[in-house]
Amino acid sequence: MSTATPEVAPCRRCASALEAEDLRCPICGLMTPPRAHGTVERETAKVVRCENCGASVEYSVEAKAPRCDYCGSVTRVETTVDPVEQAQAYLPFTVDPEAARAALMGFLGKGGFFRPSGLAREASVESMRPLWWPAWSFRAGVDVSWTADSDAGARRSDWAPHAGRTRFDFDDIIVPASRGLKVKECEALAPHYRRDTEEREPRGPEGANIERFEATRSGARRTVLETVERLSRERLQQGVIPGRRFRNVHVAVALSSLYTTRLALPVYVLAYRYRDKAYRVLVHGQEAGAVFGEAPISKWRVAAVVAGVLLLVLVALLATGVLGS
């Protein structure tokens, strides 16, 4: 198991939180003091990595099937440099495996018109793996300078120029660090986690793996800045920039504070098979009602709808006399 991350003293100029690998303060740019040898040890870690999606989990001797928890592909054991960057807080599983299985069945049975009618009956669950996926959570204060054109104050022309400066605070921005989940899947799962349940140790079903953090911190910061920029742009257009229509919205953001927590978030990855094809479904680890995934589409039902629409068009054409003679 990886040990806790060593504590790092804050920036000497602005007291912002620093991370072990920072060469400069991310807020004020002050160089960090060189650390004593051995403080940031580049330890190596043994991991199990998927050859298909690249996700890696901690190696364990008792792990039975050498299959990827996310995609079921073949994995190999690999020695890698430990990025000193593992979860600081775990959200516990509050949905148990039976409930997760029931949630999958509910998802398959609920249907929607284009699903095959016997789906819940014929689908066979092939695997169900409880997992923690990695994510950074950020709190950030930003100074935003912006320029934009809007319809406010535009007399005869369509647009008038505006500019301003403002300050935004963002809470709990989740930036996924998972390689096994798609960004879309992470975005679907993220709003359903209850942050007040954070714990220092993982608590969940037996055999649950923890996906490792791997993207570098500088990569994560870049993602945060992009996210902060996007969110600032959205917020500016909800009441900060005068007017109702906008164009050429340009923003420059400067972080004034940044706090990062590395989170491990619980999810069940289920795979089921229906008529020789495998599908993946995610059941949220803290809310059994949050189920996301793939389901087959009934070709017959699609064909029936298409035929029905064609028939209607034909009838309409006949009625208007286009085809009559």
CB proximity list for 3: less than 8 A, separation 6 or greater: none
Q: Tell whether residue 271 is a contact of Zn ion (CB under 5 A).
A: no
Closer by beta carbon to Zn ion, 128 or else 152: 128
User: How far is Cα 71 from Cα 279, in angstroms, rounded to an integer?
Assistant: 10
Closer by beta carbon to Zn ion, 184 or else 194: 184
Segment interacting with Zn ion, rule: CB under 5 A, options 25-33, 200-208, 221-229, 313-321: 25-33
Closer by beta carbon to Zn ion, 10 or else 118: 10
Q: How many residues bind Zn ion (CB under 5 A)?
A: 15
Binding to Zn ion by CB under 5 A, coded x per residue (else -) over 50-89, reads x-xx--------------x-xx-x----------------
Binding to Zn ion by CB under 5 A, coded x per residue (else -) over 88-117, reads ------------------------------
Q: Tell whether residue 8 is a contact of Zn ion (CB under 5 A).
A: no
Q: Tell whether residue 28 is a contact of Zn ion (CB under 5 A).
A: yes
> Mind giving me the DSSP string for 21-89?
T-SB-TTT-PBPPPPPTTSS---EEEEEEETTT--EEE--TT----B-TTT--BEEEEEEE--S---SE
Q: Are the C-beta atoms of residues 274 and 94 closer than 8 Å to each other? A: no
User: How far is Cα 272 from Cα 116, in angstroms, rounded to an integer?
Assistant: 15
Q: For residue 303, give both structure tokens.
A: 């064909």
Closer by beta carbon to Zn ion, 150 or else 209: 209
Q: Which of 6, 10, 13, 294 binds Zn ion (CB under 5 A)?
A: 13
Rounded to the nearest whole angstrom, what is the least distance from the CB of residue 94 to Zn ion in the complex? 26
Q: Tell whether residue 11 is a contact of Zn ion (CB under 5 A).
A: yes
Say if residue 90 is exposed, middle or buried (CB neighbours under 10 Å; 0-12, 13-18, 19+): buried
User: How far is Cα 274 from Cα 122, in angstroms, rounded to an integer?
Assistant: 7
Say if residue 43 is exposed, middle or buried (CB neighbours under 10 Å; 0-12, 13-18, 19+): exposed
Q: Tell whether residue 48 is a contact of Zn ion (CB under 5 A).
A: no
User: How far is Cα 57 from Cα 55, in angstroms, rounded to an integer?
Assistant: 7
Q: For residue 108, give both structure tokens.
A: 């398959």
Closer by beta carbon to Zn ion, 13 or else 245: 13
Segment interacting with Zn ion, rule: CB under 5 A, options 44-52, 164-172, 241-249, 309-317: 44-52
Q: For residue 56, give both structure tokens.
A: 């890696």
Closer by beta carbon to Zn ion, 71 or else 120: 71
Q: Which residues in this chain contact Zn ion in the complex, by CB under 5 A?
A: 11, 13-14, 16, 25, 27-28, 30, 50, 52-53, 68, 70-71, 73
